[in-house]
A = this chain, B = another copy of it.
Amino acid sequence: MTYSVAVSGASGYAGGEVLRLLSSHPDVSIGAITAHSNAGGLLGGLQPHLHSLADRVLSETTVENLAGHDVVFLALPHGASAEIAAQLPKDTLVIDAGADHRLEDPIAWEKFYGSAHAGSWPYGLPELPGHRDRLQGAKRIAVPGCYPTSSLLALAPGFSAGLLEAEDVVIVAASGTSGAGKSAKVHLLGSEVMGGMSPYGVGGGHRHTPEIEQGLSAAAGEQVRVSFTPTLAPMSRGILSTATARVKAGVDGDQLRRAWTKAYADEPFVHVLPEEQWPHTKAVQGSNHVALQLAYDEHAGRVIVSCAIDNLAKGTAGGAIQSMNIALGLEETAGLSHQGVAP
């Protein structure tokens, strides 16, 4: 069976990546491709890398244009996706790459987004305990944020196994600039970002912080408190997260290593690298793979986990398609067999 799929927000980076990955998916046919300000134009002019779809015309992002497909991907600004999703048929699989349905706690939502909470959907990170089940047969899926994807994959095994303290968790992540989207802003100009690094959203203000805490707290069974600092790196794609937490008394390095290798032993996309080999974002570039390594710093009493993903692939579009595969009962890796593109 072939599923018809509509993609909104197709002129942006997330929408473009959904289309790139879907274009080689064996079980889908791409139906409506929609955008807002670029409606009416050819996809080839906006996403010139999507050669096989270059002649497709973008239609306006409306409920009418999206309805009638088996699957709808929403790659829209927060607020917009909730509004459209509410009007789509209940039996359409709606996958929201935006933030609207990620947070379970309405208070956290309102604090960080300043608007009414649209409710939460099954969370598209199947590698977290219990989440794969919830995605099977789901009709609404919230795609995790890119930083939460890498942060949760980095630390969840240690919290699930009860090896880490819930306080003083620190995550510093470097993201490629595509994470900031495709709208024209001076501080994102090539001239500004090439050759330099800077932090942003420091001090707990980044909207991904409550999402990270939500996931880690669920894994830990207690409230986890995270200091999260994102930085902007001079690269188009990729997130490298350095995540550290205090190890509980009596836990040793072997226990730590076993917790992570066991958690991901059967995962097709998450790779705990051989010891001494550290993740590099280029090794996962363009792919749904996750490269992960950990070290126990006995002196500091902390575990340090390094996790590399492609923010647009596993961090957005790849994770979304992986979740779609589960929801539809397809092979989980269907359409996601890309290796990393390196060097």
Contact = CB atoms under 8 A, between A and B. Distances in A.
A208 interface: no
A280 B198 contact: yes
Interface in A196-237: 196-200, 202-205, 209, 225-227, 229, 231, 233-237
Interface in A260-298: 271, 273-274, 277-287, 289, 291, 293, 295-298
Interface in A17-57: 20, 23-24, 42, 44-45, 47-52, 54
Interface in A327-343: 337-343
A274 B44 contact: yes
Contacts of A242: 172, 199, 229, 231
B191 A13 contact: yes
Most-contacted residue by chain B among A198, A289, A299 (CB, 10 A):
A198
A86 B328 CA distance: 52
Contact of A304 (B202, B277, B283): B202
Copies held by the complex: 4
A313 to B, nearest CB: 9
Contacts of A186: 182-184
Nearest to A240: B197
A273 to B, nearest CB: 8
Contacts of A161: none
A23 B340 CA distance: 11
A249 interface: no
Contacts of A193: 190, 194
A176 B196 CA distance: 8
A233 B236 contact: no
A45 B273 CA distance: 9
A101 interface: no
Nearest to A49: B340
Interface string A162-182: 000001101010101110101
Contacts of A204: 295, 297-300
A308 interface: yes
B304 A203 contact: yes
A192 interface: yes
Contacts of A191: 13, 176-178, 180, 182, 188, 236, 343
B280 A229 contact: no
B197 A174 contact: yes
A170 B196 CA distance: 22
A50 B339 contact: yes
Nearest to A229: B242
Interface string A308-340: 100000000000000000000000000001111
Nearest to A51: B289
8 interchain residue pairs of minimum CB distance? A203-B295, A49-B340, A196-B282, A190-B193, A172-B172, A184-B184, A49-B342, A227-B300
